[in-house]
Amino acid sequence: MWPDKHHSVRWIIVSRMIGLICFFIVLVLANILTFYVSNPTFVDGVKTFLNPGESLNFWLLILIFVIIFIADIFGAFPFPLNLPAPIIKATGSVFIIAFVLRVFEWVDTTTGSNIYHYFWLLSFVIVPIVFIIVLLTGYYEIIYDLWAKAKIRDEASPVVHAAALENTPNSPGPKSWEDVGAELRMMLYDILHRFREEIRKR
């Protein structure tokens, strides 16, 4: 469901735009077929889910696409710029469940069954569970990725760490507020620099 972390921002934009174009092609073809297919269930399904002028479900699908697209973009960036991605993904999963409930509601209306009521009750349990699972999974992937990269760096350059320890003063004095401010400025500069380099590279 979610993109490979190694995919670039450019690849994500192109692939998602191709997917959106394919969706609109299916939408147009389905609406054209309603003039030639006399099946009332098919015609009602197209009007309920794939007709922008008559259905709010179509705009719900577009909203889900936008949410997942934004999550994919954030997920392609390096840490810490990818931190919002799990939250956005979890929010998108809630809207996906809402769309599935609308599908069951339409099935109830079409077939006269009563399955929507049971799924609506289950949604009060399913929605928070899915939200938490997607959220925790996203942050676990970020932490695991950081740990794997740190392990690779440690194995590749043990001499650098040893040299850094040798150059560290034995009894450093307490840091002043100016030192803390300078470190914060350096941290912000490093984040912005990494963001700019990532954009140029991708």
Q: Does residue 8 have a pLDDT over 90?
A: no
Dihedral of alpha carbons 50, 55, 59, 65, sign: negative
The predicted model gives 72-92 an average pLDDT of 86
Across the chain, mean pLDDT equals 76
DSSP 146-201: HHHHHHHHHHH-HHHHHHHHHTS-SSPPPPPHHHHHHHHHHHHHHHHHHHHHHHHH
pLDDT score recorded for residue 91: 93
d(CA 179, CA 10): 39
The closest alpha carbon to 139, from 85, 72, 91, belongs to 85
Most confidently modeled of 46-50, 73-77, 93-97, 110-114? 93-97
Q: How confident is the model at residue 131 (pLDDT cuts 50, 70, 90)?
A: very high
> Are 12 and 3 in contact, with CB atoms under 8 Å apart?
yes
Residue with tokens 């942050």: 139
The predicted model gives 116-137 an average pLDDT of 87
* DSSP letter (8 states) at residue 80: T
Q: Does residue 28 have a pLDDT over 50?
A: yes
Burial of 174 (0-12, 13-18, 19+ CB in 10 A): exposed
How many residues are present in the chain? 202
Distance of CA 3 to the CA centre of its chain: 8
Full-model pTM: 0.65
Burial of 132 (0-12, 13-18, 19+ CB in 10 A): exposed
Poorest-confidence range of 49-53, 111-115, 116-120, 183-187? 183-187
pLDDT score recorded for residue 49: 80
Domain extent listing, the chain: 9-153, 175-202
**35 three-class SS:** coil
pLDDT score recorded for residue 65: 92
